Structure 1
């Protein structure tokens, strides 16, 4: 019960990773706002409250407290209303898990502008707006003398950290989420808010085709490394009071593995103290590259 009585919002919580997060938070004593539009894998189709309502019913069957949210978190009004729903329903907000997203995969030279915009909207804007309004709420609480012990957990991806062939829009959005996480961690810390990101690998609607083609299903009694429930324990820990000293980090999570991802750091360098001649740059850069780690390969390359 490491999140007992904490109020948690999980976006995209009707299925897959979001559903697993919502249920695990509930098992650990949290009150959960289950946000989901109920649309298809690519974000199309009619909006339906079904998936969110089903997760709420599951949580209540466990003896927990939950409420469904139909808000579009990639709109200003929707994100603001989502935060207000948590406060109005449960009297407070402690944790925001930004998880909602979908795919529009295409090789770059075939990628349409609408496919680019749609993925940027749901992933990057859909992280920014709830983060913004949650941050405003916690800032107001801090200024009123009620210092929060609050958490934001963003969802990046290995595609955002290393790149993924056929997913230029998704990779760019997920890389942007890492940058957003770092800035939010620096800006919101004074208000009692930590901000971290995860890069999960799991079998969901977004990835089931990939895993079906590349991995055999686990046998009876075998550990299912790709089950989304494997990711949620670390997410719940990040949302708990236990993680108060951890912020600005990215965790890659797969099966039973937890990896601290290390992003761009200043590496080998040379400072001439004056402007370089272009002809002199080649040997200097090649020497620096020889002293540097080789980049990890892009997924699918």
Structure 2
């Protein structure tokens, strides 16, 4: 495939002899991730159920179309249509990678659906379906790939969280809960994976895709999904030493998002009244500590 563009001062980040799984890679962000990883030398498993935005239906055509793009450009990829939402599906996705290429070095948990509704109208089915794909789906595929990465003492895992989970958005209680669950999963796995050379990070993308075009409208026209992928490529690379980090990415802007704890107050005789009196000091973000990730050696 054609060599990635870069300035002469930037080292080229390549993925020769590495294998990547990208879930939900038939369209949008996942497609961009898969294409770019393949362009840089990775052998890619393009997973996509081929469903509608709400998760209904299935087809291999979307995943196969991305594979055709990759192979036409000289890359290496296979299509996979298993569902991340079941334990068997997650295991089958990883097994497809192992059977085809003998290893797995990178996992991008990107698959997702939307079933939006105001909380007063939201049903249990809408909650269960969204959590099954976003959160349980990431768990299923990661659980299947985890022993492989531990045995080879190497792995790169990227979670796809969302501003909805981190900051909130009307009508997306189910989606926000699932996306924030991925952050908790990231923090724990970053700790557990550190001894085996496994990093786990997350992106909160802002991009115009099939899932967001109705929400963004004209405001999303400059937010190409291709402008999110460079951060995923960096986090997936062997040279990346970050773990348990979250990055907000969109329209060419990259910012770190972190969980901070204020300095707060210490009162061994704490009462509700003393909390009320000190609440401004408790809330004051002027001095804070960043939490999360493994303890440095």
Task: Normalising by structure 1, report the TM-score.
Answer: 0.88
Which of these residues, 153, 156, 159, is aligned with residue 151 of structure 1? 156
Pairing 1:55–2:66 present: yes
* Compared CA separation, residues 216 and 9, structure 1 to 2 (3 A): closer
Q: Do the aligned residues in 2 keep the contact of 1:2 with 1:237 (CA within 8 Å)?
A: no
After superposition, give the CA deviation of every residue in 1:140-167 in whole Å (9 maximum; x if it has no partner).
Answer: x24xxxx32x100010011111011111
Which residue in 2 is equivalent to 1:288?
Answer: 282
CA contact (8 A) 1:3 1:236 kept: no
* 1:279 corresponds to 2:273: yes
Structure 2 residue ranges without an equivalent (≥5): 1-12, 287-297
What is the CA–CA distance in structure 1 between the aligned matches of 2:41 and 2:238, rounded to whole Å? 13
Q: Retained in 1: the 8 A contact 2:97–2:104?
A: yes
Q: Distance in 1 between matches of 2:192 and 2:81?
A: 29
Is the CA contact (8 Å cut-off) linking 1:2 and 1:241 kept in structure 2? no
Give CA deviations for 1:199-244 in whole Å, capped at 9, x if unaligned. Answer: 00001111001222x5274xxxxxxx3111111111111111121x
- What does residue 183 of structure 2 align with? 178
Structure-1 residue corresponding to 2:109: 98
Comparing 228-237 with 95-104, which one deviates more in the overlay? Answer: 228-237
1:278 and 1:208, CA in 2 relative to 1: closer, same or farther beyond 3 A?
Answer: same
How do 1:1-301 and structure 2 match up within 5 A? 2-45=14-57, 47-139=58-150, 141-142=151-152, 147-148=153-154, 150-212=155-217, 214-215=218-219, 217=221, 225-243=222-240, 245-263=241-259, 265-274=260-269, 276-289=270-283, 291-292=284-285
Tell me the distance in 2 between the aligned counterparts of 1:279 and 1:259: 38
CA contact (8 A) 1:201 1:254 kept: yes
CA distance in 1 between counterparts of 2:225 and 2:69 reads 16
Shift, 1:286, TM fit: 3.5
Please say if residues 264 and 281 of structure 2, whose CA atoms lie closer than 8 Å, have aligned partners that are also in contact: no
Kept in 1, the 8 Å contact 2:204–2:246? The answer is: yes
Query: Aligned in 2, Cα 1:271/1:108: closer, same or farther, shift over 3 Å?
Result: same
Contact preservation (8 Å) 1:52, 1:68: yes
Tell me the SS of whatever aligns to 1:241.
coil
Please report how far the alpha carbon of residue 84 of structure 1 lies from its aligned counterpart in structure 2 after TM superposition: 1.4
Q: Which residue in 2 is equivalent to 1:220?
A: none
Structure 1 segments, 4+ long, off by >4 Å, are: none
Higher RCO (CA-CA < 8 Å; seq separation 6+): 1
Following the alignment from structure 2 to structure 1, what is the Cα–Cα distance between the partners of residues 26 and 59? Answer: 10
Q: Name the SS of the counterpart of 2:262 in structure 1.
A: coil
Which residues of structure 1 form unaligned runs of 5+?
Answer: 218-224, 294-301
C-alpha distance in structure 1 between counterparts of 2:29 and 2:123, whole Å: 27
Measure, in 1, the Cα distance between the counterparts of 2:234 and 2:266: 43
